[in-house]
Structure 1
Amino acid sequence: MQQLPIDPHLDGIVTKITGDKPVILMASPGSGKTTRVPAHLLKKIKGHSSQKIIVIVPKRVSALSAADRIASENNWVLGEDVGYQVRFENKVSRQTQLIFMTEGLFLKRIQSPGFWDEIHTLIIDEFHERSSSIDMILGLSFEQKVLGRKLQLVVMSATLNLQQLQNFLGDSETINVEAPPHKLEIIYSEKNQKLICDDMFFNHLKETLQKAWKTTQKDVLIFLPGQREILRFRNIIQPLFPQNRIEILHGSLSLNEQKQIVRNDTGVGRRIILSTNVAESSITVSGLDCVIDSGLEKKSYRENKVGFSGLDLQRISLFSAKQRAGRAAREQAGYCFKLWHATDEMSMKEQIEPEILKTSLLEESLVLHQQEVTDLDSFSWLTKPLTYTIKQARHKLLKWNLITESSALTPLAALVSKWPLSIENSILHYELSLRGFSNDSAKLIAVLESGSVESVLEKNKNFNGSDVAKIIDSGSLDFSSERIYQQILSSCKVSAKNTTQDSFETALIQIYAASFPEKVAFVKNKNNAVSMFGRGLQVAAGSQAANSDFFIALAGRENHTQFTQIVCALGFDKKLAQEIFAPLAKKQSEVHYDFEKNEFFKTEQLKFETFVLNDYGKSRLNADELKKNWKEFFKKSSLDFLKIHPSYEKIKDRLSFLARKDMSLSDESKIQIENFEDLLTDYILQGYDSFEDYKNCDLFYLSYQVLNEQMSDLLQNLPDSVKSNRGRSHDVDYKDDKAPMISLKIQDAFGWKDTPKICHGKFTLTLELLAPNMRPTQITSQLGLFWKNSYTDVRKDLRARYPKHDWPEDPST
């Protein structure tokens, strides 16, 4: 077995793990912590305990690779001594004690009775990636330990926010193994980083590869943001390296395909390996002595109005850059060529932003309820999610009949939590199965989940029918879809109870309208539509949905434009829409304020979500009605009521400014800014008995009460205006991109040696210096340099134009 840097430390590490305190293990990339620590721990407890060691890894490829490597290094049988469990695939037996598991599957498994009792040690690897699931697993396991369960908890990574983690875990053991495997030379580019993958980016990458190929002796691993960029670059370099293997490494490869790339079993000639960030951590690619890092990655994001996801091209964090570079020196001295200038790192984030701040919290909320955590605000979050998101997730779980008003789980929640599907697809399959469509449901969901929907529709493009019909009648499925289809049929069984005369497609429309109305869209003209909550949609050419009045968006793709590209949809006409929408519609009244007429009015409409089925018009709101029901109206139209107060926009401008400019804000402060409207509304409704009292209140003072100490102090020290030496007050603009900014005549700045600062000196003002005719002559936040350098030329011009004014040579005195 190859000696790794972590090996001399294993006995000491395992001794601490077998103690009572949580363990934080930091070790250099390539040191061997992922494979050696769990294996050494298993040898220690084997024969003394039948409990399991569970290693949580962020990616499927990491679970398969690490388990296979440990089995190979220790002459163990994969699936007996050590194994893995990932979605739709597992290699374990009853006696397997060391199991590598993806985070999503672990959250499914803990719903099984007695599962926590089976765990001896829970190891969370590559914690720096900060997925929402990893944060939840940390909180749940920590609470289990606090409640007295005999469970050991280990958090591992090469890069961690150590202080935050130590504060969270409290009395814990920290082990820091600074033992890089071999010497690593970092080579920066002379060019600044390109943030788009255009021709210049690929030319730069090609030149860097050619340089690296001459400098190094072995295989080269290149990190690219996604498969599209990988395929394009492979086509570029194939003619340049005709004798060398160019291999692609990504998360959906089978174990055998991974082995061939990771182990380099053939060992013939040098290779170029093009990889997404799956090779960033937890796996070792043999035969490397060089990494080329683009410094870019694609992160999934969700568009909230319609609910589809896209990939966002962005810079990696410094934590990720360190992980990637470490791949090059795992087996011998290596090189890392970075496609960015050293100065670019000054603007790179140190660590990955926690996903919990961006997720919908649906899956997370259901898991926590299943673990009897019903108050998500008080859960042990390392980083607390937004209060608004918590409320929205609870609203949807109630709507889908997964929890009751008292936060108890329903029988439906207990059923779908065991299924290997997303919550939305679990609800869809359950409802369709009740109506007698389990087979068609399983096939449709399998194609949607596998991501093969576009290829299936392309294969059947000449079929005259809806997109759904093309999928259901498509015949044989590809390997991935077939595997998911069979697992749904075997694992997600529901007896038909509400059989219907309606077709499968009609049942599908009914379920989407009732449970997923954000996917309902109104067709404006051919290929263009608007979703229920206002998102612009474009339908794939040739889809039956393009010629319909309405459609259900079944699959879509986001790309940061004003439209979501819908790749699979089911169209229907106005008659069917009226039949389906009418039972779901509600009569709604809303109160609005007419700022021009300075009066309130009330509107009443029959609406299915945002679609208006009948409009009853608007009526003026009289004083008695306002006095009697103002709190109810305030709740429904809080933003309109808040805007009536003259101080509200000023406060919002300041809070938006702080969110943009203050990098020292705590996570709690950021959440409070995000939820300020709700916080202030709740406080007003609790503290005031009449609308008139609210209108006359000091809204700034109320804001200080609802915000935490950091935010209250900052807000109190952001002034309305700043006085110049001439005694004139100048309003501070907090809206402008250059805020905080004041506009003043250049003579009013005379006597200031440098630019004034506000808020205890935290923020430097931007000065818009005006000529006597009130036109800008200079915008600066470095007044001292302006006096010293540019003022001479400006003075010369102003003296010629305005000779009666005083223009001193040294205006700073």
Structure 2
Amino acid sequence: MGQLPIDAILPELLDRLTGHRNTVLAAAPGAGKTTRVPLAMLEASWLNGQRIVMLEPRRIAARSAARFMAAQLGEQVGDTVGYRVRMDTKVGPRTRIEVITEGVLTRMLQSDPALEGVGIVIFDEFHERHLHSDLGLALCLQSQSLLREDLRLLVMSATIDTGPVSELLGGAPVVMSEGRAFQVETHYTSGPAAGRIEDAVARAAAAALHRHEGDALVFLPGAGEIRRVHGILASMSLGADIRITPLYGNLTPEAQDRAVAESAPGERKIVLATSIAESSITVRGVRIVIDSGLSRVPRFSPRTGMARLETVPVSLASADQRRGRAGREAPGVCYRLWSEQEHRQLRPQSDPELMSTDLAPLALELAAWGIADPQELQWLDIPPAGAYNHALELLKQLGALDNRQSGKLTGHGKAMAELGMHPRLSHMVLKAAELDLGAEACELAALLSDRDLLHGSRSVDIRLRLEALHGGYSSKDADESAVRRIASEAGQWMRAAGIRESESMRSANSCGILLAMAYPDRIAQRRGDGRFLLRNGRGAVIQELQPLSGSPYLAAAELEDSGTDSRIRLAAPITQEELEIYLSAQLDTELEVKWDRASESVRARRRLRIGSIVLKEGPLQDPDPELVMQALLDGIKLHGSPVLPWTKSSRQLQARIELMRHHNPEWPDVSDSHLMDTLPEWLGPYIGGMRNRADLGRLNLFSILESLLTWQERETLEKEVPTHITVPSGSRIPVDYSNPEAPALAVRLQELFGLRQSPRIAGGKLPITIHLLSPAHRPVQVTSDLTSFWEQAYFDVKKDLKGRYPKHYWPDNPLEAAPTNRAKPRS
């Protein structure tokens, strides 16, 4: 084996590991840490014959590292060195070094928290901060603390800030190693002023290939851009010796291996890669790097419960990692499609996945570990509370956690965790198995865990993907290697769940049912024009008209949070009947009894709903009388006092009582405002059986108000605040109490002849304000001091009235004259 920079510090590293349980290794790209460190530990005394487990962030990196180390030992993979990745395992009874992907470590810990037989866990490329690497480290630290004092942890990275990691590991020593990198000439170019980034990348790659020797590695944000750049480059006629090959996570292992392998003699290649090629692997023969400067990351929103893929600028650390790919084997060149000024504005590190992703898998793993609160563990970054609480709610909805505050794992939740799938998918598979639909559920799970099988299709119907998987008419548009990969994964999950294909009843018509099990929060109801209402109340849309646009109900598997209405990307139809049968436990029967303002009546409805979606609605024949009464009272309060059948006499009674209260606060408050605030107390007993405004018209408000008074208060009211006053002419004149501070008596002046003083009420406390009227009942004078009127104003009034009403009696001495309600007094 040739010398690598890491070799110089291996003795120091082994010494640190001998004296400390935890260590941090900061090794620059190209130092050789991934393949040299595990081999150097094999004979360490503290290892005592136990296994070495090394985590890699990606499957291709795990396989490549294992193969390289096995080759260094002159062995096959599966002997001393093996690997475990999703859908591919090569280990044997003699395996001492296991290179695994991060999710595999979680499964190992859940099945054996003490990690018996493992002497050290190595976290390689920890700077990528994937969800399972943060989780794995937190679980290992607790295992080390409670169960395995002898377990060692080594965190390795090229670009991470070692200070916080060392502190997290209990003040672990930090070992530094320089890398081995050849000089890389860096060019900054402006990105596309207009048009697509793909065009700029393709032009830059073609030009660089013309100017420089070696192969080119092109960094793009995602598989879609890779396909488009591939098409552009293929149309440029670069030459028969140029091979264009993609490199991203969902390719088959064979396709990934072809991308990283050295080019054949006389051949050059352009590797179109996502960030998968940033670290851990060496793409042989690369001398040129074309960096779009973009990466695609998922952003989960607890507000919507959905994730959206965002294309964001890379961090400085990622840009340096990408640039370094050109100098691993020889001097190279890097073209960055951004300016130096933009480069200075890049953030130092990428955000940890933990801070922006769906935390349902994490919450399920912690529940299976026995952790109720993430803060019980040690983290570099504590999971955000909003996203974590949303994850807990989803797990409760799926039946993985009980509904108590403790939120403990249920038996169903334990089975979900053991499957090792996303909680939504594991729930779907387990429930589907009970319905003899397990095989289809596993196929759907595999389809949803991979890239879109019909990536060129505009249809959002997931049933077409299932047909393509079985060689249906859509299969002509499907990638054959993807079909094999998805079918293989579905088979593995069937075996993991104990499902035999012969026992399963496959039917594409069941897709909607299965998706509704996995995504109960994404059931949608059509509301016209390709738009749908989601269970959570948000809107969703199928952007292009297609058969599913007219489905009354959908279950959406993939939604892109894109503003007011989320974009539906994958879905299947489901019927109302299926929702009522298979999701019956999640349906709510809502009895609504409320006042309808338009019809001025109580409206009673029965609704069957799931979240914001109303499945059925109809009249409620026998509503609860108490609810009807409350709705009626709400209607009265909404419309106010005028909705009640006030009469002149009831208003007068109200005013009389208010006047007494004005002088004695012990009397009942019957003001409009207080009556509206206390409707149940004073009006409730009288409205039983009533449903509308017409019914309210039958109320006798006079009697109802009178019932608020005691017998004594009624007596006092009649005596001190009479309804009428008998004037000297003998007429009984009603008193107007509309102004409690100034009750009024409107009476013709001639009927008061002989009355020396104004009448007083309320025990003589309050004089009546007299509105003196002409014989034609027109206002003449207002006074509350009748004596002064007779002495001063009467004679001017008499002069005016005598001229207008000459036939009437206008005496010179009104106090001695006979009162009359006629033109002249009777003889």
Indicate whether the TM-score tops 0.5: yes
Q: Is 2:441–2:514's contact at 8 Å kept on the other side of the alignment?
A: no
Give the distance between the partners of 1:551 and 1:204, measured in 2 at CA: 40
Give the distance between the partners of 2:61 and 2:590, measured in 1 at CA: 51
Give the distance between the partners of 1:581 and 1:427, measured in 2 at CA: 13
SS at match of 1:179: coil
User: In the alignment, what sits opposite 2:528?
Assistant: 525
Give the distance between the partners of 2:85 and 2:466, measured in 1 at CA: 31
SS at match of 2:25: strand
* Offset at residue 295 of structure 1 (A): 1.0
* Offset at residue 529 of structure 1 (A): 1.7
User: In the alignment, what sits opposite 1:775?
Assistant: none
Residue 367 of structure 2 aligns with an amino acid whose one-letter code is H
User: In the alignment, what sits opposite 1:144?
Assistant: 143
* Offset at residue 163 of structure 1 (A): 2.4
Residue 271 of structure 1 aligns with an amino acid whose one-letter code is K
Give the distance between the partners of 1:526 and 1:454, measured in 2 at CA: 25
| Cα shift readout 1:460-517 (whole Å, capped 9, x = no counterpart) | 99xxx97698579756992022102211221112699xx99x9978876666657743
Residue of structure 2 aligned with 1:368, choices 363, 366, 369: 366
Give the distance between the partners of 1:200 and 1:112, measured in 2 at CA: 48
User: In the alignment, what sits opposite 1:480?
Assistant: 485
Give the distance between the partners of 2:203 and 2:333, measured in 1 at CA: 16
Residue of structure 2 aligned with 1:538, choices 527, 541, 551: 541
Structure 1 pair 114–140 and aligned structure 2 pair: CA distance change class (3 A): closer
SS at match of 2:556: strand
* Offset at residue 12 of structure 1 (A): 2.0
> Computing the radius of gyration over CA atoms, which structure comes out larger, 1 or 2?
2
Residue 491 of structure 1 aligns with an amino acid whose one-letter code is A
Q: Is 1:454–1:567's contact at 8 Å kept on the other side of the alignment?
A: no
Q: Is 2:541–2:565's contact at 8 Å kept on the other side of the alignment?
A: no
User: In the alignment, what sits opposite 1:671?
Assistant: none
| Cα shift readout 1:657-696 (whole Å, capped 9, x = no counterpart) | xxxxxxxxxxxxxxxxxxxxxxxxxxxxxxxxxxxxxxxx
Give the distance between the partners of 2:507 and 2:362, measured in 1 at CA: 31
User: In the alignment, what sits opposite 1:228?
Assistant: 224
Q: Is 1:557–1:567's contact at 8 Å kept on the other side of the alignment?
A: no
Asked if 1:489 is matched to 2:485, the reply is no
* Offset at residue 300 of structure 1 (A): 2.6
Q: Is 1:54–1:122's contact at 8 Å kept on the other side of the alignment?
A: yes
SS at match of 2:418: coil
Structure 1 pair 355–269 and aligned structure 2 pair: CA distance change class (3 A): same
Q: Is 2:428–2:517's contact at 8 Å kept on the other side of the alignment?
A: no
User: In the alignment, what sits opposite 1:53?
Assistant: 52
SS at match of 2:153: strand
Q: Is 2:513–2:574's contact at 8 Å kept on the other side of the alignment?
A: no
Q: Is 1:377–1:387's contact at 8 Å kept on the other side of the alignment?
A: no
Give the distance between the partners of 1:107 and 1:142, measured in 2 at CA: 13
Residue 411 of structure 2 aligns with an amino acid whose one-letter code is P
Give the distance between the partners of 1:230 and 1:468, measured in 2 at CA: 22
User: In the alignment, what sits opposite 2:550?
Assistant: 547
* Offset at residue 249 of structure 1 (A): 1.9
User: In the alignment, what sits opposite 1:80?
Assistant: 79
SS at match of 1:110: helix
* Offset at residue 217 of structure 1 (A): 2.6
* Offset at residue 174 of structure 1 (A): 0.4
* Offset at residue 14 of structure 1 (A): 2.6
Residue of structure 2 aligned with 1:261, choices 252, 259, 263: 259
SS at match of 2:322: helix
Asked if 1:101 is matched to 2:100, the reply is yes
Identity in percent: 26
Alignment of 1:349-360 (within 5 A): 349-360=347-358
| Cα shift readout 1:619-649 (whole Å, capped 9, x = no counterpart) | 6999xxxxxxxxxxxxxxxxxxxxxxxxxxx
The TM-score, its normalising length taken from structure 1, stands at 0.66
User: In the alignment, what sits opposite 1:431?
Assistant: 431
Give the distance between the partners of 2:514 and 2:196, measured in 1 at CA: 48
Give the distance between the partners of 1:466 and 1:274, measured in 2 at CA: 31
Residue 444 of structure 2 aligns with an amino acid whose one-letter code is L
User: In the alignment, what sits opposite 2:612?
Assistant: 610
User: In the alignment, what sits opposite 2:732?
Assistant: none
Q: Is 2:439–2:500's contact at 8 Å kept on the other side of the alignment?
A: no
Asked if 1:564 is matched to 2:570, the reply is no
User: In the alignment, what sits opposite 2:20?
Assistant: 20
| Cα shift readout 1:46-80 (whole Å, capped 9, x = no counterpart) | 9x633221111111111111111222233221112
Alignment of 1:707-786 (within 5 A): none
Structure 1 pair 311–584 and aligned structure 2 pair: CA distance change class (3 A): closer
Unaligned runs of 5+ in 2: 593-604, 619-626, 635-827
* Offset at residue 280 of structure 1 (A): 0.2
User: In the alignment, what sits opposite 1:795?
Assistant: none
Residue of structure 2 aligned with 1:241, choices 234, 238, 241: 238
Give the distance between the partners of 1:544 and 1:589, measured in 2 at CA: 35
* Offset at residue 126 of structure 1 (A): 1.2
Give the distance between the partners of 2:382 and 2:295, measured in 1 at CA: 25
SS at match of 1:417: helix
What is the number of equivalent residue pairs in this alignment?
A: 602
* Offset at residue 314 of structure 1 (A): 0.9
Give the distance between the partners of 2:200 and 2:496, measured in 1 at CA: 49
User: In the alignment, what sits opposite 1:5?
Assistant: 5
Alignment of 1:163-312 (within 5 A): 163-189=163-189, 191=190, 193=191, 199=195, 201-209=197-205, 212-213=208-209, 216-238=212-234, 239=236, 241-242=238-239, 243-264=241-262, 266-302=264-300, 309-312=307-310
SS at match of 1:353: coil
* Offset at residue 184 of structure 1 (A): 3.0
Structure 1 pair 31–560 and aligned structure 2 pair: CA distance change class (3 A): farther
User: In the alignment, what sits opposite 1:155?
Assistant: 155
Q: Is 2:453–2:465's contact at 8 Å kept on the other side of the alignment?
A: no
| Cα shift readout 1:551-593 (whole Å, capped 9, x = no counterpart) | 21234556678431333312324x5556667763446799xxx
SS at match of 1:488: helix
Structure 1 pair 175–471 and aligned structure 2 pair: CA distance change class (3 A): same
For CA contacts below 8 A with separation 6 or more, give which structure has more relative contact order: 1
SS at match of 1:272: strand
| Cα shift readout 1:172-223 (whole Å, capped 9, x = no counterpart) | 110121334323333323x3x55x9x63644543454355345533222121
| Cα shift readout 1:756-801 (whole Å, capped 9, x = no counterpart) | xxxxxxxxxxxxxxxxxxxxxxxxxxxxxxxxxxxxxxxxxxxxxx
Structure 1 pair 333–18 and aligned structure 2 pair: CA distance change class (3 A): farther
Residue 241 of structure 1 aligns with an amino acid whose one-letter code is L
Structure 1 pair 560–6 and aligned structure 2 pair: CA distance change class (3 A): farther
User: In the alignment, what sits opposite 1:776?
Assistant: none
Residue 24 of structure 2 aligns with an amino acid whose one-letter code is I
Q: Is 1:457–1:467's contact at 8 Å kept on the other side of the alignment?
A: no
Give the distance between the partners of 1:354 and 1:621, measured in 2 at CA: 55
Residue of structure 1 aligned with 2:315, choices 295, 314, 317: 317
Residue 274 of structure 1 aligns with an amino acid whose one-letter code is L
| Cα shift readout 1:400-437 (whole Å, capped 9, x = no counterpart) | 33234344433323322222422111111111111222
Give the distance between the partners of 1:398 and 1:434, measured in 2 at CA: 20
* Offset at residue 279 of structure 1 (A): 0.7
User: In the alignment, what sits opposite 1:803?
Assistant: none
Residue 424 of structure 2 aligns with an amino acid whose one-letter code is E
Structure 1 pair 215–73 and aligned structure 2 pair: CA distance change class (3 A): farther
Give the distance between the partners of 1:244 and 1:440, measured in 2 at CA: 42
Asked if 1:92 is matched to 2:91, the reply is yes
Unaligned runs of 5+ in 1: 591-602, 623-813
User: In the alignment, what sits opposite 1:65?
Assistant: 64
SS at match of 1:567: strand
SS at match of 2:78: coil
Residue of structure 1 aligned with 2:586, choices 581, 584, 587: 584
Q: Is 2:580–2:587's contact at 8 Å kept on the other side of the alignment?
A: no
User: In the alignment, what sits opposite 2:760?
Assistant: none
Give the distance between the partners of 1:620 and 1:342, measured in 2 at CA: 71
Residue 6 of structure 2 aligns with an amino acid whose one-letter code is I
SS at match of 2:421: coil
| Cα shift readout 1:319-378 (whole Å, capped 9, x = no counterpart) | 111111111111122222222211112321111112212223211112122222222233
Residue 234 of structure 1 aligns with an amino acid whose one-letter code is H
Q: Is 2:245–2:272's contact at 8 Å kept on the other side of the alignment?
A: yes
Give the distance between the partners of 1:495 and 1:259, measured in 2 at CA: 33
User: In the alignment, what sits opposite 1:698?
Assistant: none
Give the distance between the partners of 1:289 and 1:441, measured in 2 at CA: 45
Q: Is 2:425–2:518's contact at 8 Å kept on the other side of the alignment?
A: no
